[in-house]
Amino acid sequence: MNVRTTIALAAAALSFCSLIPAASAADEERAYTEGSVVSVSYIRTEPGKFHEYLKYLQSTYKPLMEEEKKAGLIVSYGIYSARPHTPDDPDLILTVEFKNMAALDNLDTKLDPIDRKVWATIGKQDEASAARSKLRTDLGGQLLRELKLK
């Protein structure tokens, strides 16, 4: 193959490529931005223990969440009543909102001083956990990320 033929083939290939619209990843935009992250816990209170569990949330959970909020570790928290459709559905849903996924990095280490402030000792925290398990069943949860449409 001579030089002229090679140049002609290269020119033809380049002109063909120019007919195909070039779209780089930088040119494309997502239709959303990533928002906050919400941890959701599904709770089923034991029969006759709904109000007692809410008193527990008021006495211990709320001060803990308020301290975490004051320290800037969480954005917000919520407690929602739910109407169960089956005996296995939650009657309460607890949410904790974080600014982003990075806020979850080393979270236990960041929470330790707050836990000590609210619970005083790990033993008291364990006692409260055992007492709480008599009031409710943890049905699991989810970690959700908000997608904000542009």
Structural domains in the chain, sorted by start: 32-149 (3.30.70.100)
Percentage of residues in the chain having pLDDT higher than 90 = 61
pLDDT, tens digit (0-9, with 9 covering 90-100), for 52-85: 999 999 988 999 999 999 999 999 999 999 999 9
pLDDT, tens digit (0-9, with 9 covering 90-100), for 42-55: 999 999 999 999 99
Q: pTM for this structure?
A: 0.75
| Phi/psi of residue 105, nearest 5 degrees | -65, 130
Name the burial class of residue 4, with classes exposed (0-12), middle (13-18) and buried (19+) by CB atoms within 10 angstroms of its CB: exposed
Contacts of 53 (CB under 8 A, 6+ apart): 43, 45, 46, 92, 132, 135, 136
Neighbours of 59 (CB within 10 A): 10
What b/e readout covers 117-130, taking b as 16+ CB neighbours within 10 angstroms?
Answer: ebbeeeeeeeebee
Could you tell me if 42 and 141 are in contact, meaning their C-beta atoms sit under 8 angstroms apart? Answer: yes
pLDDT over threshold 90, residue 113: no
